[in-house]
Each structure stands twice: as structure tokens, then as C-alpha cells.
Structure 1
């Protein structure tokens, strides 16, 4: 139904829920006076510019379904505002894929300060504040703010734009949220909240307590109904305008139509609950919590008073327990239940599969098809409508459609012909190296922040069967492992992961580390994970250990391997990996940034991390077999690359030449080039350069294939390249302007 309502002197047009208007309503709209139509046009233009937009629909959507490697996050859309509940690793990336806007998500609620709930908050907050300089409000445990404060040592976070809500309830124009505190049995002998009130507004919550949220959407203001005007015979014209302005009117036939008669009153919106119960130790507190009982079945209770939906963030074993079943059964039969747990499907990204199916057409070993999840239960992007109608949206969940993606690729102009030519050339390429190790699996090839197509930095090096080193570990690296190998194989890799190397302290290179450590602990692995990195990573992990989760690891400082220190006792750490030598060097990026060289059974791999062109790295990598080098910025933007202490494409290739590297593999691309980095054809002429995609697998035996792939990729992503070239043209003009002004300023000096 079309709804109009008054806000001062303006009319805001609400959503229509895809229903067709009756011909009578359409006729009334057509007959409206010209001045009203003109006014409405101005109003609509003005309304789009307002900070708060009125929408009649509200819904809850599962952003992360709690699957293995995925976040357990919920987003609520209510009357133009968004509210995020929990922000695990990968939340930011899913926001982008699902088309959600950071700008209207100003409130984040946390059920507990466990890493599973907070691991993505750093990236999310930075992205949200970059979208618009607004305040972000963190609701929940007070220690979450301490996480952001601790991170200011290695990343710029405008803490003045972040606030913590410290009351037991929250309300605004769209939602009223009540907090329910649950405690372990040891903290509350009789269950229920164990809260200390310090002053009126300061709230202290026990470290191991969890918070559940009872949420009630606000009732909308009465709305002006066109259909009621039609039903009552109100004609278009002056009488309609008077009625719209709030006056009672008398029709030509003598009937009086009161303003109140054409108002549509809202029914009471239903409440919903977001509940975490991490273990059976919280069940007594859950069953004793009086706050839930009003929303459960009661004799004589009105339908809107009972919860329409409960989202359970809890292990399946707890969910199926007798006590928890007793709690669930106290809700009416109409209440819907959603369980976010590891058993759910890990097919949470359609775009990852879309890209991989297309690349697989080019080469099925370098770009393997990703395994599909066998998980069941709650699907990613499940949507539950709250207002105006309750119920699940069957079109919302993720659907993977391989044949559709393949047809998209094949429909690219000239793709079939270019692909056929590539296949012919492939049969003529002499692959003179048959070694399968070291094998490199790229888990993240994007720079700074994740996108739909590229995750942040992470490279899995398999040195020999069942022996692994990880080069950098950006947010959601564990999720990428699960997507690439499947759940069981990913767990096996984690069991045999010998070391994680962190090149420097920018968050896109290390935020996934805590999850790897915790997942190993869940698997019962007795040996500590070795972490090789700058000293600052030790301080960061110690802070996490003290504030949130107990984590165990062994730390080795990168300084221990400077100057090819082969006599160091630390070299024995890698002996069981077939590693002959590990060497590091300082590179110019942020403080304590390192490059690394790893020699494996006579094959040498150099990894730059993030850096601008570095003579130290050139010396370290002389004569190496493979250089993996960052190429963040496109050629032509050298001044911008220098400012950010990164490399352009051609600079990275030149480092490979200076190093006499047999092959240079480029990675860490700006997310401007999320599908295909903007490169010059001449880069590939010598057959010694390739570039990386997420979920790409390479080894010495197939590296020579990569330079031949570029023409096929250009055909596959022709439209993307066109838009990138347009952007590059603009950027090049800015580069020339900068060089000109820089030259003039030097002349004046």
C-alpha cells in the first residue's frame, strides 16, 4: 500500500512492498493538482538528502551464519537505520558483497567479547568511518573499546568518533533494545544478572558474562492512506489538499470525512531476541532470567507481546540439550528459531564462487573449483521480515549457480576464441621443471581491505606433504582455508601448520592470526603455533590474551634471521619442513617491516611483504627462483606509491630484474583493481611475470603458464578493464599535474 505521512510540511513516500495499486488510487494520483505534484517532486529530492530516511519495512538478516570459518553476525534494518549484532572476522567483506551500506550502520552490539564476535570490528570500524565521518557506537562489554585503543599502536583509529553505550538498554526512533546478562554457574549461584552499578551510567559486566538482546521495533506514526481517501469518495482537488493538511472536510454530498478516518494506524511490531549461550554452564542463568518470560507463551498474552523470532548463537550440542530445549519450548509455536553454529553451510559468498568458476575455465589446476559445503541449517543471507509482514523471504539466501557463471564467462565477446588459442599454446609450452613443491596457495591477494573478489594478505606455502608455512595472515585467512580445501582438509592443514610469518603490523596482514591459534586449540593440538614476526606482534597477542581470549603460541622475532644468520639456533625450528635457510631483511614501509627468503630443498622463495623498492630486498633475494612481490599501485602513479610506501606494477617487476629472480609473481593489489590488475602487456613479454588471484595454486612446474594467461583474462574482464582505463586516465592527469607543480616549487626554491 502506498503510504503518505506528515513530517512538518513535507510528505515522505514509503515503500510499497511490491503491491500493485488499485486503478482508483492511480486515477487519484493522476488527478492531483499540479502544485501538489510539483511539491511532491521537490520533497522527494529533498528527502533523499536527509540523514534519516523513512522506510515502512523492517527486517533481520543473517550476515554470517556461524559456519566453520565464518562470522556469526546479524544485521537489523529498521526504518532506514542498520544495527549490527556481533562483528566477527569477515563481516566487513560480507557487508560489501551483500550490498549493505556502512554509512547507516552506526550501532554495533556485542553478545560477548570473544574473538568470534569481535575479530572483524577493527576493519569494520575503519571502513564505516571512511564511508562517512560519523560516530560509531559500540554496545556491550566495556573491553571492546580497549581492543580499539590497543590497535592505535599500529593503525590510525579516530577514537574521538567511537563511543561506548554503557546502559542496560538502548532506544532510538527505530528500535528499543533491552539487555539480558547471562553468567556462568560459578558467578551466579541462583542465575540471573550479576551486575554492579557504578554510578548511574557506568556498567561493569563480569568478564565471562554474555549479553542477550530483546529488540522491539518502534511503531510507526499514523500514515495518510490514499486508498481510504478513495474508499470514502474524496476527490482530487482542494478538499483532498485540506484533508491531507490535517483538516476535516465536508464532501459535496454533505458527508463529513474526518482526518482521523484516513489515517492508517500501525499494529504493534513484533519483538525478536538475539541470544548467545556459549556452553551448558550458562543454562541455569538462562532459565532463571525473568526478562525472557514476557516474550514467551503466557495465558491471555497478545500475539505482538510474544517473540516472533529468536536467533540462537550457541553450539549445536547446547542447543539440543534438555535444558535448552525446555527454554525453547516455552516460546509459542509461531516463534521462528535460527541457530548460528559451525554445522551450517560455509557457502557464504556467491561472488567467490562466481569468479572461481570462470577462472577454472582457463586452467583447472591453477584455478581449482572450490569444494561445496555439505553443511545444512541456516543459510547465509537468510532474511526475516518484521514489518509490515512477518516471515522468511525465500529469495534472500545465497544460491551458488555454476552453470550461470560459466555462461557469463562464455558470453564475453571473443572469450571462446582467445581461450581456444591459449589452450593451443599451452600444449607447446615446455615445462622444464617438474617439482611440485614448494606449492603456493594464495588465500588473499588484495591490499588494505577486503573486497568481494580479493581477501587481504595470506599465502599458504606447502614445503612438502603435510608441512606448511603461512606467509602473512590477514582477516578471514581461516575462512579462506575452509573455502579452498573444505572443512576436513582445512583442519588437517591447521594441525600440520608449522609457522606463521607476519611481515609487518598493518592489520591487513595479521588480524587472522588469533583465529588460527584458537582453532588449533579447539582441535586439541598440543604444540604451540610458532609465530615469526616483528616484536610488536608479540605485544598485540599478549594484549588479546590479557583482555579477551587465552591464547598460546611461541614467538620468534624476525630480527633473529637478519643478515642470513644461518648459524642461529632458530634455524632448527624449520628443519622438519625441508627448509634449508630462512633469512629476513628490513624493508621501507612502516616500522619493523620485513622481507623474507625461504630456501626449500634447493628452491628459493622471496616474499616482499609491503614495501617500496628496496635495495635490502634485492640483496636478500639475489638469484632466487621465485619472487612474490607486492604491486599495490598501477604504473603511472609513482608519486602516490611513494607516499604510501608501496610499489607500482613496473617497480615490482624491476625489483625482480635487479634481483635476477627467475620468476616474479605479483600480489597485494589495490582493491580498485579487484577483478584484474591494470597492467601493461609488455610486463609479460619475457615470460617471467605473473600475478595472483585468491584461491590460485602454483608450484615450480606450472609457473610458466601464468604469463600466457593474461590475454584470456583481458577478454574475460574486458568491461572491467575499460572502466579501469577510464579511471587510470584521470589518475594520470593528476600525476602530471602533481609533477608539474612539484617541478615549479623546486624551481622557486
Structure 2
């Protein structure tokens, strides 16, 4: 049985390491940091036959891409999936309940206790016919014993029947007493925060059971999940309410209230800034199958076992009994075992994946390695250790680690090392990078090159002993475990990478075709002519001309190779930055665009004053936790960051902050509920929908006091910050930002055409509006509560906006949306209409240039043939 390990993504500006272990019958993904799904698209690897996701930590570096990846799998008709992770997994999954619902996916969560049960030292945390996975529990030294929660008692085998082989030890599955189910069913106003002991864990399991199919948890009495037939009946409605989420308020009492606080029992105070508090981490030992020896056909013939079904059984490892005729004509019954005909079996191959966040974890890791039955040989079996992957945090890789950890393994083992200081930072998403490289030829200020470095800060070979097989972990490395081969770089990835050759050797790799080069030249000439005319006419600068708009993601619902999901940054000179939505990968887009360090992405985050999140759909907010986590690690601490969001977002972040400090408790993030800034809605249906649900938030910061709002105004020089209830399938708000300098920006979020936005944003300097569908898809746009391109332009025209920037395009258009309009002069009475592109930097005063460039940009994308462009996999927005 052959198998391999491939590197899906490495430690770069926009990704963290993800590995794919591949057998003929299944794939296993280790760690799903941000952009895991996009990395699959870029690498052209498929996710079909994926069986399990295995996480070493539950935090923004290892797990933030999990919800997006699970949604992608579910929408690609994956029926079953297992997720293995440390304690905290169930809390993380349950915190997604307000934006994640896939009743077609059967999920098997395995939450590994951080303390090893004494009775199961050698028990695999996951096992199927391909491999067994064993956990190594790592933790930093603690000045005082940390109380460890008692694992949930096991369920009986009758309660947890599976079609597949058992995927984890029974001690990891819950046995929820019927008395508890009856208790929560009888409470009409259940407050999960008041649950105690194991009840808190039982509640999380029950919540997650409602999000997926066949979790295997008994259901409390009450309303049942909605049938698929009932859901189909609702597809044709244009009511802008969310059938699958908002109506789930009645599914469980307490559904809309905060989860019980999750804690591993640490009594250590959380530092106000700097690195996040250290907690337990898992590493894993992967043991492949023992391969039967070669079948000896000659010996089988001697035993009278000729070709046929019986011989096939013995070859499969079964013992058979049959009757043979001896030379003298007599007959006898003969039993043949596999040992009679099979050669010596091949010892299982082993892969180790070690996650070491800081040097303080090294002693714990060494202890775990020495006590591991697989690695120490204490179980009496023989193993072939082929590969060790080292996921090293800052300052881990060095002599102490090499001598204490690396030399624990035989010299023949191959080592892949991920360490920020020892890793290069190439452009990960080269398709998008190449598109940006081409547009850079058109306007280098508007389309700056992505930041990258092909050489690490410190070469790994400067520290690696020559007698060991050590190399940096890079994306697109393939290691065949059986049959064993040394790591190789997959050259197919190089063939698809046009960015790096185009920028390193442009003479040999011209980026523009003849037609596009001609259109670029003509577009630049037109822009230059217009600039001359405006200069001669003495056109004065308008308020807001110097405000910078930076789209971080322009795709709707799901990412493509060329476009990330929703996010737009507004830079106000002299004041700071505002982030409008933060889909998965938003931080990576900032880091790739502005580069690393104090003068790059850290400066952007330090000057970030406000984040507005429109609604709780995954493509608009999954990346928010990473932005907040990175912001909090700035040292010295930056000024307060104001977060304007509706209550489902605030509830989710409050719950997520139990897993990782994101500035929620120390006052570095100041929250303002969108509801407190909302203008009255003219749509009575939306008011009814929004007032029907109430959330109980247990958070220590303000939800929008007048003092907090005034502090926001002062920080950004604002005259007004209003929110507008939009027409979407969940509670969604747009916003109107008016500056003291006399300019204003309106942002739609996701919505059908809304007159409330028109009335609230009259004469806006810029309208940023979603344009998910083409004009011929108006009916589909209504069903999904989105807008067409023409509808978005109509809204901007009605509000008399000077400029309209269209974004949030369906993944049906992986590169760019359909052609829009003829170029508009900057002095035209009609709005200037422009299309947003990822990582562009557009001054509002230059919006007319982007409009002028449209035809040339369209030519640029058309001349980049890509037979494997993504096809629409279904909107999830």
C-alpha cells in the first residue's frame, strides 16, 4: 500500500504550513490555517477522498481555515469528515453555529484530552485501514500544577455505530445522560453560562450536532431539523431572511446565548501585549499499514493450493482449510495459514509531525519522544521512520533543538523544517501575483507588486549538521513514504508559476502579449491626456481625493485563485485605516501587499483604527480573528481599535477569545454594536426579523456607549458613522462614513437594492457596493438576496454618488466580472464606475483612471489562458 506526504502550503506571508497525507483510498490534511482552500486551488490538488483534518492547535495559525475548508468539502458533496484536534475543538466548532450550517456533512469530531489517560498510553487518537495516528502532548513548564478538565465519559459502542472503522478511542466520544437532555428541553430560557462541570461539554456537543449531519449525539426533545424538501420549497422566495440560520433560534433553548466559558484551567495572567499565552499543543506520530510479504506461488502449489479463491484468501492474510488428494489417491484435510505462503511482512512506515511553538516546549517534546512506544520501540514492533516535519516557532530551531530533538531520530530520516527566520517568502498565489505583475505595467502606483523574498533571513544550511538530511519546508514538496524516496519538488508547480520567472528574468519571460501591450499603451495615453486637460482647466482638489481604497478581497462566497473573499481597507491620510469586512485571508493580503516588519504590515495594523463587519456570513468575517490576534501582538501596544459589528459577530468573537487572546478582555478592542448606530429602517419586514432575535453577550467591553462612539469619531476625524439595515438573508448592515473634511463613503455589505442606503448616503463621495451577479442573473440575485451589477449602479445613481466601486463578484467569474461600461470623464455628471481588484491601491481622486483602464485590464486577463480555472461550486453567501 503506497502513500505519500505533500506540502500544500508553507510558512509565508499569507499561509501557514499544511500537509496532505495521501493514500489511494483517502487523504488526510494536517493543519488548516488561513487560505487552505485557496492553496488547494492554486496547487491544482484535489480535496476529493479527504477523510480527516488533523490539527496540532486550535488557534488562528493552525485552524482558522477550518470552517471555510469544511464548507468547501460539504458543497463539493463530501459526505463524511473527521476532525482531530486538542481540547478546545468543540468550543471552536460550536462558536461557528451562527454562520455555519451544513446538514449534508456528517462530521466526527475527536477532541484529544491534553492529559494522557493512564489506561491508554499507546491508544491511537485516530485509526482506519490506512494508518494510525498517535498524539504527543506538549506543554510549557508551569510554575504550578495546571488543573486539567476530566475527559467526558465514554459512550457505549451501541450509541456510536459507524459505517467506517472506529476513528478514535471511545474515551473521546460523549455519553450524554438522558437526564441532561430532559433538563435542557424543559428550560425555555436556558443560559448555557450557568451550566457546570461536564454539562458544559455536553452542551457544546449538542450544539455542534445541530450544525452537521449524524454527529452521533442524542437529541433533546424539541423542534426537529428542517427537512430537505421543506428547504427546497423556500428556494424561490425573495424574502431577505436566512432560512437556515435565523430560524434555528427555536431549535434549542440557549442557542443564541453565549457558550459556557472554555478554559483549560490555567491560572496564569494573560499579558497585555506580545506573544499569546502558551498552552498545550499536540504533535502526531503517523504509523502506516504493515504490508504483507510477497506471496510464494511455488510454495502454495507444493501445499496443493492452486490458483483460485482459496489462494486469493491466503494472499489477503486469511487461513483456509481444504481437501487435497495425495499421490496414493487418498484424501486429507489441510489447513494453510498466511505464514505458510507469505514472505516476511514489511514494517510500517512512520511520519512524525512536531509542532513546537517556543523553546519552552522542547523539554516536554523530548520527554514525549522518549516515552512514545512507537519511537522508543517499547511495544516490541519494528518501524521504519521515514520523515519528521518540524513546525518551529520563533527561536526554536537551533543547537538545543537539533541535539535534543532531531538527533532522537535515525540519521537516515528526512527532516523538513518550517521556521519563519529560516524560510523564504515566495508569492504563494502565483496566479493572482502574475495578474498583478501584468497590471503593474499599466499603473505601478495603483497596482503595486506583491512583496516577496526568495531567500530566508537565515539560511537553514548554516545551522543544519551535514550528516543529517535537513531541508526547509516549502510548498509543493512531495515525499513518497512507500516506496521510500527522498523529498522532491513537484515541477508541475514551477510550470504553472509565471510570476517569479516574469519578475526575475523579464527579458526571457515577457508578461504582456502584443495586443495587451498596445491597449496598455493607449490607456496610459488617454489618462495622461485627461490629466493634462484637468491641469489646464485648473480643476481644484476635491475633499477625499487623497483617501486610499485598498480592496483585499473581491470574491463572493468563496475564494478563487485570482480573488480573495471580502475585505476593503480605507486609508485616511493623517488619521489611520478602516477595514470594511475581513474575510479569510485578509491579514495575508495585507502582509503580501505591504511586506513584513515595522514599516510593512505592522505599520498598517498599528494605524488601524476601526473595523466594520457587515454580517455573520463566513466570507465576510472569518479572517477577523487573525487580524485582531496580530494587532494585539504589536509591541508597544497601539491605540485602541474600534470594532463596529452586529451582535452575532460580537457573540462569536467573545466565544473565540476563550481559545486565543485577541484583545477582547484587555480593552485594546472597543466594541460598538451596529444596532446602536443604525438609522431607522423603512422596511418593516427587516425590523420584524431583526427584533425577533435577542442575544445574551457576556463580554467585558462596551457595546457602544456615547463615549466610545465619540472616541471613534475623534480617532478618525469623523463627523458621522451610521449603519443601515440591509436586505439580506441574515441580519446585515451597511455603513455610511462622513468625515469632517467634507467627504463620505457608503458601503453596502451584502444586500438587495436598498433605498434605505440611498437615503442615508445622499451625495456620497464614494459608494462601495456589492455586485455579485451579472444583469442577466437578476432572478438568482433576488433568491440569494444580492444585487446585480446594474442594480448596484442604479443605487449609486439614485444617491447621486460621485464614484461607484463595484466588488463582491460571484466566483462564476474567477478573474474579473463581465464588462461594465464605457469610460466616464472625471467631470461627468454621471457617477464614475470602477471595478475593484485585489490589492489595488486606488485614490478616490483617481477612480476615473481605474474606469479608463477597464478595457485594457480585461484584455490582460483574457490573454492568460488557464484550462483549470475554477467553475462555480455554489454560492455560500
Q: Is the 8 A contact 2:625 2:662 kept in 1?
A: no
2:391 counterpart residue number: 313
Q: Is the 8 A contact 2:804 2:831 kept in 1?
A: no
Deviation at 1:394, TM superposition (A): 2.9
For 1:656 and 1:567, the matched residues in 2 are separated by 32
Inter-CA distance 447–266: structure 2 relative to 1 (3 Å threshold) = farther
Deviation at 1:534, TM superposition (A): 0.8
Could you say what secondary structure the match of 1:384 adopts? strand
Does 2:359 match 1:280? yes
2:723 counterpart residue number: 584
Does 2:432 match 1:476? no
2:786 counterpart residue number: 646
Deviation at 1:352, TM superposition (A): 2.3
1:182 counterpart residue number: 138
Q: Is the 8 A contact 2:33 2:62 kept in 1?
A: yes
2:604 counterpart residue number: 493
Q: Is the 8 A contact 2:432 2:562 kept in 1?
A: yes
Q: Is the 8 A contact 2:585 2:623 kept in 1?
A: yes
Deviates more, 1:262-271 or 1:272-281: 262-271
For 1:624 and 1:718, the matched residues in 2 are separated by 33
For 1:564 and 1:699, the matched residues in 2 are separated by 32
| Structure 2 gaps, min length 5 | 113-122, 155-168, 174-262, 266-278, 299-305, 316-337, 457-471, 682-703
Does 2:80 match 1:124? no
**1:491-530 matches, cutoff 5 A:** 491-526=602-637, 527-530=639-642
Q: Higher relative contact order by CA 8 Å / sep ≥ 6: 1 or 2?
A: 2
For 1:139 and 1:392, the matched residues in 2 are separated by 26
**Root-mean-square deviation over aligned CA pairs:** 4.0
**1:123-162 matches, cutoff 5 A:** 123-158=68-103, 161-162=106-107
Q: Is the 8 A contact 1:583 1:596 kept in 2?
A: yes
Does 2:677 match 1:597? no
Could you say what secondary structure the match of 2:424 adopts? coil
Inter-CA distance 720–403: structure 2 relative to 1 (3 Å threshold) = closer
Does 2:400 match 1:322? yes
Q: Is the 8 A contact 2:770 2:809 kept in 1?
A: yes
For 2:486 and 2:411, the matched residues in 1 are separated by 14
Could you say what secondary structure the match of 1:701 adopts? helix
Inter-CA distance 194–307: structure 2 relative to 1 (3 Å threshold) = farther
Inter-CA distance 486–505: structure 2 relative to 1 (3 Å threshold) = same
Inter-CA distance 605–723: structure 2 relative to 1 (3 Å threshold) = farther
What do the CA deviations read for 1:342-398 (whole angstroms, capped 9, x no partner)? 333332222221111122122212111112236524322333222223211134576
Does 2:175 match 1:64? no
Could you say what secondary structure the match of 1:611 adopts? coil
Inter-CA distance 638–246: structure 2 relative to 1 (3 Å threshold) = same
Q: Is the 8 A contact 1:444 1:456 kept in 2?
A: yes
For 2:26 and 2:343, the matched residues in 1 are separated by 23
Residue in structure 1 matching 2:526, options 425, 445, 458 = 425
What do the CA deviations read for 1:448-492 (whole angstroms, capped 9, x no partner)? 111111111111111014611111111111111000000121011
**1:552-631 matches, cutoff 5 A:** 552=664, 553-563=669-679, 569=707, 570-600=709-739, 601-631=741-771
For 2:348 and 2:308, the matched residues in 1 are separated by 30
1:335 counterpart residue number: 413
Deviation at 1:220, TM superposition (A): 4.9
Deviation at 1:71, TM superposition (A): 2.3
Deviation at 1:586, TM superposition (A): 0.9
Deviates more, 1:704-713 or 1:141-150: 141-150
Residue in structure 2 matching 1:664, options 782, 804, 808 = 804
Deviation at 1:308, TM superposition (A): 2.1
Does 2:242 match 1:103? no
Q: Is the 8 A contact 1:102 1:131 kept in 2?
A: no
Does 2:485 match 1:384? no
For 1:429 and 1:567, the matched residues in 2 are separated by 47
Q: Is the 8 A contact 2:5 2:19 kept in 1?
A: yes
Q: Using structure 1 for the length normalisation, give the TM-score.
A: 0.78
For 2:716 and 2:501, the matched residues in 1 are separated by 40
Could you say what secondary structure the match of 2:61 adopts? helix
2:445 counterpart residue number: 365
Deviation at 1:622, TM superposition (A): 0.9
For 1:411 and 1:400, the matched residues in 2 are separated by 12
Inter-CA distance 642–683: structure 2 relative to 1 (3 Å threshold) = farther
Could you say what secondary structure the match of 1:184 adopts? coil
Deviates more, 1:591-600 or 1:337-346: 337-346
Q: Is the 8 A contact 1:69 1:346 kept in 2?
A: no
**1:238-257 matches, cutoff 5 A:** none
For 1:480 and 1:674, the matched residues in 2 are separated by 17
Q: Is the 8 A contact 1:187 1:194 kept in 2?
A: no
Deviation at 1:720, TM superposition (A): 8.1
Q: Is the 8 A contact 2:397 2:419 kept in 1?
A: no
1:454 counterpart residue number: 563
1:737 counterpart residue number: none
- Count of matched residue positions in the alignment of Structure 1 and Structure 2: 649
2:436 counterpart residue number: 356
For 2:290 and 2:801, the matched residues in 1 are separated by 66
| Structure 1 gaps, min length 5 | 1-55, 230-238, 249-258, 732-749
1:213 counterpart residue number: 284
For 1:312 and 1:721, the matched residues in 2 are separated by 38
Inter-CA distance 584–413: structure 2 relative to 1 (3 Å threshold) = same
Q: Is the 8 A contact 1:463 1:578 kept in 2?
A: no
Deviation at 1:404, TM superposition (A): 4.0
Deviation at 1:529, TM superposition (A): 2.5
Q: Is the 8 A contact 1:103 1:132 kept in 2?
A: no
1:171 counterpart residue number: 127
Could you say what secondary structure the match of 2:589 adopts? helix
For 2:808 and 2:613, the matched residues in 1 are separated by 15
What do the CA deviations read for 1:229-266 (whole angstroms, capped 9, x no partner)? 9xxxxxxxxx9999998999xxxxxxxxxx99999998
Residue in structure 2 matching 1:112, options 57, 82, 88 = 57
For 2:420 and 2:128, the matched residues in 1 are separated by 33
Inter-CA distance 415–295: structure 2 relative to 1 (3 Å threshold) = same
Deviation at 1:80, TM superposition (A): 3.9
For 1:722 and 1:707, the matched residues in 2 are separated by 26
Inter-CA distance 411–705: structure 2 relative to 1 (3 Å threshold) = closer
Q: Is the 8 A contact 1:687 1:707 kept in 2?
A: no
Inter-CA distance 704–292: structure 2 relative to 1 (3 Å threshold) = farther
For 1:401 and 1:265, the matched residues in 2 are separated by 50
Deviates more, 1:499-508 or 1:396-405: 396-405
Between Structure 1 and Structure 2, the one with more helix by share is 1
Deviation at 1:705, TM superposition (A): 0.8
**1:676-715 matches, cutoff 5 A:** 676-681=816-821, 688-715=832-859
Q: Is the 8 A contact 1:65 1:341 kept in 2?
A: no
2:488 counterpart residue number: 393
Deviation at 1:500, TM superposition (A): 0.8
For 1:202 and 1:293, the matched residues in 2 are separated by 20
What do the CA deviations read for 1:612-665 (whole angstroms, capped 9, x no partner)? 100011111111111110000111111110111100011111111111111111
